Amino acid sequence: MIANAFPALQAAGIPGVQFDAAKMQWLGSIAPAVETMAVWHTTGVKTIEDARKRETIVGASARGAITFTYPALMNDLLGTKFKIVTGYPGGNEINLAMERGEVEARNNTWSSWKATKAAWLKDRKIVIIAQAGPKASDLDAPSVEMLARNADDRQLIELVMSGTQLGRPLTTNAGVPPERVAALRSAFAATMKDAEFLAEAAALNFEVNPVLGESMQRIVEKVLSTPAPVAARKEPFGVANGRGGGALRAGLKRSGRLPLRKRDVICPPWLQFRSKTSAISRLSRISTMANRRSPTG
């Protein structure tokens, strides 16, 4: 499992990218992501227009991470006044910083808010002022794509937010035998239909709307074909006019995102369940299933 921003970073020519997303073998994702910008309730910021009038401190992990690129994109293209503070190890730390008053806003996926901070939503501790990616039917917030001032800006937004279509993607390396890739994709697709898996996902408030490997491969190819003049606008990634690549590369290395090595393919917290017999834990055993089915395994 890797960061869904990797294809966009490659398309934008970000310094430090040492992989070719087109050669990766994309396996599947439980669901696409809806990225949001949430502001703490005490700020008084309830709309994008409010965020244009008041400096709001945003917590982020590193340049190049979606927690940075989302508010940076809104600043550059929508005129918001987010002050981005990087260096937080992860989302939990940013959430704590919001509660303590260190920061006032953050990016997060809509599914994550519902699964991990349902109480915040119920008690209106946060206000969602924007969403990006596939529009959530149960979220009343404007889409940043629809707020673009022109076609070029919209293409840039779509590039920066292209990872939403991939959700939390599972992939394997280039050069894996076709029959092994087919077995991995088949195992993933079967898991997405498993009754026990679906029941547990529902109990945990996780959306299951799978994006299968073949579709992901086409999405990545489209991202990598972004017109050069659009991809050259690197400001939302933390690189302006060809400068800033060193800071971005350093930030990505600290966050474990670059270079892409075996250590980057991890099982994230949302897949680490207490029960070893969990239906969802089948995802971590996909490679084992593939080995049994592959004649070369």
- Of 76, 51, 245, the closest CA to residue 160 belongs to 76
* pLDDT of 274 over the 60 cut: no
Strands 126-132 and 56-59: unpaired
Tens-digit pLDDT profile for residues 183-235: 999 999 999 999 999 999 998 888 899 999 999 999 999 999 988 888 888 66
* pLDDT of 174 over the 70 cut: yes
Tens-digit pLDDT profile for residues 92-136: 999 999 999 999 999 999 999 998 999 999 999 999 999 999 899
* pLDDT of 241 over the 60 cut: no
pLDDT in the model for residue 101: 96
Give the integer Cα–Cα distance in Å for 111 and 248. 27
Per the structure, how many domains does the chain have? 1
Taking the model in full, what pTM does it have?
0.72
pLDDT in the model for residue 21: 92
Strand ranges inside the chain, DSSP E: 25-29, 35-40, 56-59, 82-85, 105-109, 126-132, 170-172, 211-212
pLDDT over 70, % of the chain: 78
Single-letter amino acid, residue 254? R
pLDDT in the model for residue 250: 44
State the residue range of the domain holding 10.
1-297
Give every CB contact of residue 23 below 8 A, 6+ residues apart in sequence: 174
| Contact status, residue 82 vs residue 58, Cβ threshold 8 Å | yes
| Contact status, residue 118 vs residue 112, Cβ threshold 8 Å | no
Give the integer Cα–Cα distance in Å for 92 and 285. 27
Give the pLDDT band (50/70/90) at residue 4: confident
CATH number, domain with residue 297: 3.40.190.10
